[in-house]
A and B are shown apart, each in its own frame.
Chain A
Amino acid sequence: MHDKRTQSGLPAKTPAILARLIVAIAVRQDRDAFAALFDHFAPRIKSFLMRSGVPAAAAEELAQDAMLTVWRKAAQYDPCRAGASAWIFTIARNLRIDSARREQCGKVLELEMVGDADPPSPPDAELLGAEREARVRAALRSLSDDQRRVVRLSFFEGKAHGDIAAELELPLGTVKSRIRLAMNRLRELLGDLT
């Protein structure tokens, strides 16, 4: 499902290229790098938020906010610790939490990138980052289609188990056990990364 070429006909951006673009913003406030990141991620963040139930106009605004956060926080990004897409996923996810909680007039618990409080990366961290990327990709691919579908709906799109059951026309118990099995399998496959 990866588009091998972008709309402009340029080669698709690899994880390493995307990471370098964020670093370019951090190091020299590179506006071209920002524009390239915007072209890649803003339409994806908008799509991600719309699938999570955010209306199109609000999703567009939040995608703008997410990219502004990328510009502001670029210096905090550690390419050894997280892939560019993973880091930007956490930013989009936090905005989704914010917007959901604002509706409930709640206070916001900022979920920081988990690595934020960790000590600087050891020299072999870049290798670990690349390995994590490959291992996660393989782990996701190894799930059955049914498992991958419920993981996508619950974990990525943030849907409630009841809504997933209705959408897939499955009993709630089946949805719950599929999610549990899929998560246990992912944990098993990713086990020795931890």
Chain B
Amino acid sequence: MNRHHPKNETLAEFAAGTLDEGRAVVVAAHLAMCGECRAVIAALEEAGGQMLDAIAPVAMSEGASERALARLDLASLDLARLDNEAAAPSARATASATHPVWQPEQKTLLGYDLGPWRWVAPGLHYRAVKTPADAARVFMLKAVPGLRIPQHRHTGTELTCVLAGAFIHEGGRYAAGDCDDADWEDGHSPVIDDGEECICLVAMQGQIKLTGVVGRLIQPLIRI
């Protein structure tokens, strides 16, 4: 069971479809691994359905219903094609209650292309997740056990989902499936837990500001 979840407002924005695409990818990764938050989303979608039912309708134009019925025949022809597509394996289509979204050797993540792993600093690699330019930047970070990330803060929001391994910082221990949706305004300094390498999915707006003395020595981090 996950211990760290996105904020309620973040889940609500996700359910409303108003969360920016970058952060929506991170929430989608968390949802794949968290039945509890999927139930919250289902309840929010139910709320959306009830609001849709209660809305004052706006009349469709004359003949709209006949036009819709006429389009159905074309739609039925397409159905066979859609069924074939549905049969193809998909990153999302695993039929288990919770499932990992990341396996080593995967070339895409939740349908997005991935860049190559790039070295950032000793023990730390970075990999771009190719979302549209206007969204928050999304990337994967891979860190070796025991690595201490220098104290830093963010000028914008940061949303993180752990895909494998675990890290520990001021907010507690974050293991696979956990989501870090806190504003670490005073900065945070994560340490990778012992045992296995930690892979995170991060959506970040703004820049990283290193705050510690050591941090200034590790300038390459600024490239993230």
Docked pose: A94 CA to B75 CA in angstroms: 19
A34–B112 alpha-carbon span in the complex (Å):
35
| Inter-chain residue pair count (beta carbon < 8 A) | 209
- Asked, given contacts A93-B16, A114-B42, A187-B40, whether A34 binds B49 with beta carbons under 8 Å apart, the answer is no
CA distance A84 to B23 in the complex (A): 28
What sequence of 0s and 1s flags, for each residue 73-116 of chain A, a beta carbon within 8 Å of any chain B beta carbon? 00000000111111111101110110001001111011111111
**Interface residue count for B (Cβ, 8 Å)?**
69
Contact of A116 with B58 in the complex, beta carbons under 8 Å: no
**In the complex, which residues of chain A have a beta carbon less than 8 angstroms from the beta carbon of B41?**
114
Judge if A168 is at the interface, Cβ distance under 8 Å. Answer: no
Q: Is the CB of B48 within 8 A of A156?
A: yes
| A96 contacts across to B, CB distance below 8 A | 17
Which residues of A lie under 8 Å from residue B110 when comparing CB positions? 109
Whether A38 pairs with B68 at a CB distance below 8 angstroms is yes
Out of B12, B38, B57, B132, which one reaches A43, CB within 8 Å?
Answer: B57
Chain A interface residue count, CB cutoff 8 Å, equals 81
- Nearest Cβ distance between residue B72 and chain A, in whole angstroms? 6
Contact A67 B47, CB 8 Å, known A60-B60, A115-B38, A184-B8? no
Are B68 and A158 neighbours in the complex by a CB distance under 8 Å? no
A112 to B95: give the CA distance in the assembly, Å. 14
B48 touches A38 (CB 8 A): no
Which B residues between 32 and 86 are near A, CB-CB below 8 angstroms? 32, 35-61, 64-65, 67-69, 71-72, 75-76, 78-79, 82
Whose C-beta in chain A lies nearest to the C-beta of B94?
Answer: A117
Whether the Cβ atoms of B54 and A72 lie closer than 8 Å is no
**Which residues of B are found within 8 Å of A50, using beta-carbon distances?**
58
Other contacts beyond A34-B68, A93-B16, A109-B25: 11, CB < 8 A = A43-B58, A44-B53, A86-B42, A89-B51, A93-B17, A140-B47, A140-B50, A140-B51, A155-B44, A186-B44, A193-B43
